[in-house]
């Protein structure tokens, strides 16, 4: 699924990155998601991405309640979507998400949306989230909670379903 995104600051140097953590969400286009032309309005796509991002993050034991309990927030600071083919009312589609390794204190997710069952590419996307502490300051170092998850990831103890 790897797209050719420029990832400044996120690429590892010297050692090998662990495999991405993956998640998949399946959806059917609903009436309220289409515009008067009968296609999904472009502003709905971030919602679709969020469905798959949640699944990828759950593969490594992270979810919003965990973030809040630990005192962190992770706002999206970058969103890129390349639209390739429209989604229409009633279309069944998948959203595959990958959480990719980054040395920088950020979460890099990449997404691919495809029509099912034929697999036609609908869109490719990417989000970047930064990590904020309780005072809304950007974290410059990985906090202990995330260091443990990252250690488990590197050792292959995380993963969830492979898509």
Query: What's the whole-model pTM score?
Result: 0.85
pLDDT digits (tens, 9 = 90+) for 71-112: 999 999 999 999 999 999 999 999 999 999 999 999 999 999
Cβ atoms of 103 and 6 closer than 8 Å: no
pLDDT of 13 higher than 70: no
pLDDT at 91: 97
Quote the CA–CA distance of 81 and 98 in Å, as a whole number: 15
37-41, 98-102, 156-160: range with lowest mean pLDDT: 156-160
Going through the chain in order, the beta strands assigned E by DSSP cover 21-28, 76-83, 92-100, 106-116, 121-130
pLDDT grade, residue 159 (50/70/90)?
Answer: low
Quote the CA–CA distance of 79 and 4 in Å, as a whole number: 15
pLDDT at 85: 96
Name which residue leads in pLDDT, 138 or 156.
Answer: 138
pLDDT grade, residue 63 (50/70/90)?
Answer: confident
Quote the CA–CA distance of 160 and 108 in Å, as a whole number: 18
Cβ atoms of 123 and 113 closer than 8 Å: yes
């Amino acid at each position: 699924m790897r797209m050719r995104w420029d990832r400044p600051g996120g690429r590892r140097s010297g050692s090998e990155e662990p495999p991405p953590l993956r998640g998949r969400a399946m959806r059917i286009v609903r009436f309220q998601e289409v515009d008067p032309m009968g296609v999904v309005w472009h502003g709905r796509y971030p919602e679709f991405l969020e469905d798959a991002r949640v699944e990828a993050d759950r593969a490594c034991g992270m979810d919003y309640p965990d973030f809040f309990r630990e005192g962190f927030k992770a706002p999206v600071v970058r969103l890129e979507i390349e639209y390739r083919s429209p989604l229409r009312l009633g279309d069944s589609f998948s959203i595959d998400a990958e959480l990719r390794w980054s040395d920088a204190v950020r979460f890099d997710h990449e997404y691919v949306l495809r029509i099912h069952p034929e697999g036609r590419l609908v869109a490719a996307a990417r989000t970047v989230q930064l990590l904020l502490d309780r005072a809304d300051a950007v974290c410059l170092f990985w906090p202990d909670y995330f260091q443990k998850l990252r250690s488990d990831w590197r050792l292959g103890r995380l993963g969830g379903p492979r898509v």
